[in-house]
Structure 1
Amino acid sequence: MSIFDNLIIFEMANSHQGSVEHGINIIKEMGKIAREYNVKAAVKLQYRDIDSFVHPDFKERTDINHIPRFMSTKLNFEQFCELVDAVKSEGMIAMSTPFDETGVQWCVEQGLDVIKIASCSSMDWPLLEATAATGKPLIISTGGKSIADIDKIYNFFTHRNCEFALLHCVAEYPAPLERLQLDFIDRMKKRYRNITIGYSGHEDPDDNIVSMLAAAKGARIHERHVGLPTETITLNAYSMNPSQADRWVKSIVTARDICGLKKENTKYISQAEIDSLNSLIRGVYAKRSIAIGEKVTENDVFFAMPYQEGQLSSGDMYDGLVATKEYSVNAPINEKKYTSDIKSARSVIHDAKGMLFEAGIALGNDFEVELSHHYGMKNFRQIGAIIINIVNREYCKKLIIVLPGQKHPRHLHKIKEETFQLLYGDLEVEINGSKSIMQPGDMKTVLRGQIHSFSSKTGAIFEEISTTHVKGDSYYQDKEISKLDLMERKSIIKEW
């Protein structure tokens, strides 16, 4: 699991007043909250070398925003080391936002787990070069940045093979609710599919609806400013005290539970939910006496609750049902559920269409669907593939859909050369005994005569570009497959 996933970041408000002792007290309070809710938490500091960060002619100026605060809260390297040790002793992740190259070097020397780039620095290319060179995981805030700006940031770090995450952020302090634009999280998730997206909030510290909405939108990192008020220290309008931070974390944990964000990316159906629905669905009951071997139609039955264990439900009733036992009037019909190649094929097609929808791949209207079932439809979900034939001229284009847990058996082509490009999901490709795991965008070329196969754990869609496809040009290693007529192992679907 990525260090970014489900991460909660406590950012030290107002540079912890430039006090190591006060900073440690804040860290201890946040440590209590992290343990209370058993969350992966980080404390974020801010590093800047004041001697060089502020121009010497302006250090004494009090009329320029931020400079008086920076000068009054100045700490040296050794003092920051004390704070880092305190974070780690509380079992939390230590991270910092460096605002200059000296700060980046401090992050490296202190062995910080993560480096954060502030919104104001997210297009400071010299600083970004320095952070990228560290090889550390990076989190970049995008407050005040257009989609074109974020594209530049994304490409900058992608080209340097960095591990990084992006935070949606509105850089107003405090940020008005009407300008939070949480829908932009959706767009970031679609546009930067392989990147963790989070949310850095500056709204009213008592507002926990926003944190729950951000979690529901799919933010996997949450960040807020936190502090510790005292008789002499008053927090600003966007920073949380410990009790507010406690409620904030609790709201995120609750939202994650409600949305199922801690589970696999699939829909979980509990036994309690099944039992609840079964208590309301209708069972199939005999309307008249039915003899063994008699064909049963809907005219011979009625649907009523309760549905009993082993009984056909109203949704399981089918044409062609033949009774395997005698039934008296009002008796529950206890027959095996109907399965057929047609029913299996329909189920497979529905799954394939769902994968295409989720991947955002549109097929248009001119294509042909082929189910490649090497060991019959009953084994299709284990062995086979869905082949969508789009173009077959001097060049050929297909989309191949591999269902979760499905494998396509070893075979070769004597005439056709083909190249695979993974569009969606995960794919393991084996070529002449050499296996490789493909990620979306990766390509593999299969030369004539090379024995190859592919499989997927969670499901995959890949594009196959090849020379002209010729029927009968697939030669399988398994002799049982080779014995089959071409039409015995393929079904052509006309109605998609």
Structure 2
Amino acid sequence: MKPLFVFEMANNHMGDVDHGVRTIRAIREACEGFDDCFDFAFKLQYRDLDTFIHASMRGRDDVKYIKRFEETRLSDEAFRTLVAEMETQGFRTVCTPFDERSVDRIDAHGIDTIKIASCSFTDWPLLERIARADKPVIASTAGSTLEEIDNVVSFFLHRGKDLTLMHCVAEYPTPDEALQVNQIGLLRERYPDCRIGYSTHESPDNTVAVMLAMAKGATVFEKHVVLPTERYPANAYSADPRQIRDWLAAARRALQICGSSERYVPSAAERASLTSLRRGVFALRAIPAGAEIDDSMIEIAFPPSEGQLTANDWSKYSRFVAREAIPAGGPVMHAAVEEQHLRGKVLQAVTAVKALLKAGNIVVPGKSDLEISHHYGMERFSEFGLTMVTVVNREYCKKLLVMLPGQTHPEQYHEQKEETFVVLHGDLTLWLDNEQQRAKAGDVITVNRGVRHKFHTEGGAVFEEISSTHYKDDSFYTDPAIAQNPRRKTWLTYWM
């Protein structure tokens, strides 16, 4: 979704509909060349002046805003003309109502989005009427407490409204030291279900603030605009078309500098630069074709050649078999080996194990190591395997065993260890000396020394093992292929 820029005309149409039309067209021209980066909207303000201003205060020239509002009054027909021009120029239409009758007018004029001014943020009679309109809502938060923002967000989200919150400071113009751009981050973290924006009142020549706001993650921006003439001079916080163009250019530059919010894809040049600084894998001795390459056969040193395995490729999750003979001292090239990388499969297994433990409400002691048994290789872990957490292993031993849906643990026996299993969650089928039995949560099964045992689960299972001391060399598999697999275990310390 592109960032949205909202241009606020407020009363800068000066009560002159022709001047308002010229302003809309001038701002449209200022946006030329930026449509590939941004979406644009134009905003009006509606007040039903005959009811908005109390009868006793109408016509007062000594009250600043009353004089301003009354001098710039427009008819319903004039507002419709401005809305039509906004649509003609390709702008989305936005309007700020300051009273309930103005929301009725927004509905009647077919305006796309309702904007709530900061002064109206907790005007509950007005918010109730806005909530009944079938339109997205943008709300400025200047001067509001977190409790007030919480209440307004809850009010609109509970009613299923599309809500954008705008960080805003209501000083006109706002000095740099009062901009509080970090509030954007606070709003983003506290209200993840809302789009967060920045409504600006700083000096119109200030292009730094929009860059900072973009970097902080704002995606909606609002600024007062003006078309100065001899008759209608600019105020101190509204931007003219040239200043708007500079503002958009700064925002585009910030967007380019900030880049993606997802993890970026490095360029070919960056990859090449990093690879050239890595250590390469070299053969310590001649490696025959067909040999699995292990740590004893290689050394890792700088510099690497193009296409050579590097230290970054070499890990306990990777397996390399020579396709061709590799001479002693020579670089081990990617083209010369068959590669198998299992890190992704291991992470998938850990994620599934966590989910099953959570489903069974199983409490796992903190900082427990995870042992993944992949008897026929990690590539067949979904068929054959088991995951184990050793809680204690002294003269007595306790483990948590996790089997994922569809897994089988191959047949084995122990000569020294006797063990009892308590099923905590899920279903388990066991074979004890080829005799099958089924178990469910709460069942207890004891396996004596020398008894061959095998497990299978259809829907996944978590069971507890309580036993005498576990010894590494006391597991004997009836399938000799398992014992011949030296990489059938993976241990993880940081998995919780």
User: 1:270 deviation in Å?
Assistant: 3.1
- The answer on 1:285 being equivalent to 2:286 is no
Unaligned runs of 5+ in 2: 355-363, 390-403, 408-423, 429-439, 442-455, 464-481, 483-488
SS of aligned partner of 1:104: helix
TM-score (norm 1): 0.70
1:226-285 CA-to-partner distances (Å, cap 9, x unmatched) read 111112222111111111101111222222222224xx7343333343233234333323
Structural mapping, 1:315-354, within 5 Å: 315-317=312-314, 323-328=322-327, 330-334=329-333, 335-336=336-337, 339=340, 344-345=345-346
- How much has 1:79 moved relative to structure 2? 0.3
TM-score, structure 2 as length reference: 0.70
Query: Which residue pairs with 2:221 in the alignment?
Result: 222
Mapped contact 1:289–1:329 kept (Cα < 8 A): yes
2:266 counterpart residue number? 269
Q: Which amino acid in 2 is paired with 1:30?
A: I
Shift in CA distance, 410/89, structure 1 to aligned 2, threshold 3 Å: farther
- CA drift of 1:305 comes to 2.8
The within-5 A match list for 1:77-476 is: 77-261=76-260, 265-286=262-283, 289-292=286-289, 293=291, 297=295, 300-309=298-307, 311-317=308-314, 323-328=322-327, 330-334=329-333, 335-336=336-337, 339=340, 344-345=345-346, 365=366, 377-378=378-379, 469-472=425-428
Structure 1 window deviating more from structure 2 (338-347 vs 5-14): it is 338-347
CA 333–28 in structure 1, closer or farther in 2 if over 3 Å, else same = same
SS at match of 1:82: helix
Counterparts of 1:116 and 1:12, CA distance in 2 = 13
Kindly indicate whether the alpha-carbon contact (under 8 Å) linking 1:141 and 1:200 is maintained by their aligned counterparts in 2: yes
Rg larger for: 2
Once residues 114 and 37 of structure 1 are traced to their aligned partners in structure 2, the CA distance between those partners, rounded to angstroms, is 22
Change beyond 3 A, Cα 1:316–1:7: same
Aligned to 1:224, what secondary structure does the other structure show?
strand
**Maintained 8 Å contact 1:168/1:198:** yes
Query: How far did residue 341 of structure 1 move?
Result: 5.2
1:68 aligns with 2:67: yes
Distance 2:189 2:113 in 1: 24
CA distance in 1: counterparts of 2:189 and 2:107, whole angstroms? 32
Deviation at 1:332, TM superposition (A): 1.9
Structure 2 counterpart SS, 1:102: helix
CA shift in 2, pair 1:162/1:308, >3 Å: same
State the SS of the aligned residue for 2:312.
helix
Between the aligned partners of 2:366 and 2:427, the Cα distance in structure 1 is 23
Q: Deviations over 1:274-325 (max 9, x none)?
A: 233234333323466555548564785342234312x201222358866553
Offset of 1:146 from its aligned partner?
A: 0.8
Alpha carbons of 1:483 and 1:235: their partners in 2 closer, same or farther (altered >3 Å)? closer
Deviation at 1:195, TM superposition (A): 0.8
The answer to whether the 8 A contact 2:370-2:491 is kept is yes
Structure 1 residue 117: deviation in Å? 0.5
Is the 1:287–1:302 contact (alpha carbons within 8 Å) kept by the matching residues of 2? no
Q: Name 1:36's counterpart in structure 2.
A: 33
- Aligned mates of 2:370, 2:75 — CA distance in 1: 67
State the alpha-carbon separation in 1 of the partners of residues 206 and 313 from structure 2: 49
Name the SS of the counterpart of 1:97 in structure 2.
Answer: strand
> What do residues 7-56 of structure 1 show as CA deviations (whole Å, max 9, x unaligned)?
11011154321111111111112212333201210000010111111112
Distance 1:387 1:134 in 2: 56
Shift of 1:376: 7.9
Alignment-derived partner of residue 16 in structure 2 = 19
**Alpha-carbon distance between aligned partners in 2 of 1:259 and 1:88, rounded to the nearest angstrom:** 31
Aligned sequence identity (%): 38
Partner Cα separation in structure 2 for residue 136 and residue 367 of structure 1: 52
Bigger shift: 207-216 or 176-185?
176-185
Whole-Å Cα distance in 2 between the matches of residues 352 and 243 of structure 1? Answer: 59
Conservation of the 8 A alpha-carbon contact between 1:169 and 1:201 = yes
SS at structure 1 position matched to 2:12: helix
Report the Cα offset of residue 366 of structure 1.
7.8
Pick closer, same or farther for the CA change 1:227–1:342 going to 2, 3 Å. Answer: closer
SS of the equivalent of 1:162 reads coil
The 1-side partners of 2:127 and 2:188 are apart by 22
Q: How far apart in 1 are the matches of 2:297 and 2:160? A: 66
Stretch of structure 1 that moved more, 206-215 or 174-183: 174-183
CA RMSD across the alignment: 4.3
Equivalent-residue separation in structure 2 for 1:178 and 1:259 (angstroms): 23
How many residue pairs get aligned? The number is 403
- The answer to whether 1:6 aligns with 2:10 is no
Q: Distance in 2 between matches of 1:409 and 1:76?
A: 70
Structure 1: which 5+ runs fail to align? 354-362, 389-407, 412-467, 475-479
Kept after mapping to 2: 8 A contact 1:115/1:138: yes
Relative to structure 1, is the Cα distance of residues 306 and 387 closer, same or farther in structure 2, using a 3 angstrom cutoff?
closer
Q: What secondary structure, in the 3-state scheme, does the structure 1 residue paired with 2:144 have?
A: coil
Question: Given residue 160 of structure 1, which amino acid in structure 2 is its aligned partner?
Answer: R
Contact 2:137-2:162 within 8 A present in 1 as well: yes
Question: How far, CA to CA, are the matches of 2:181 and 2:370 in structure 1?
Answer: 39
The separation in 2 between residues aligned to 1:72 and 1:88, in whole angstroms, is 26
Give CA-to-partner distance per residue, 1:399-442, whole Å, 9 cap, x none: xxxxxxxxx9899xxxxxxxxxxxxxxxxxxxxxxxxxxxxxxx
CA distance in 2, matches of 1:313, 1:188: 44
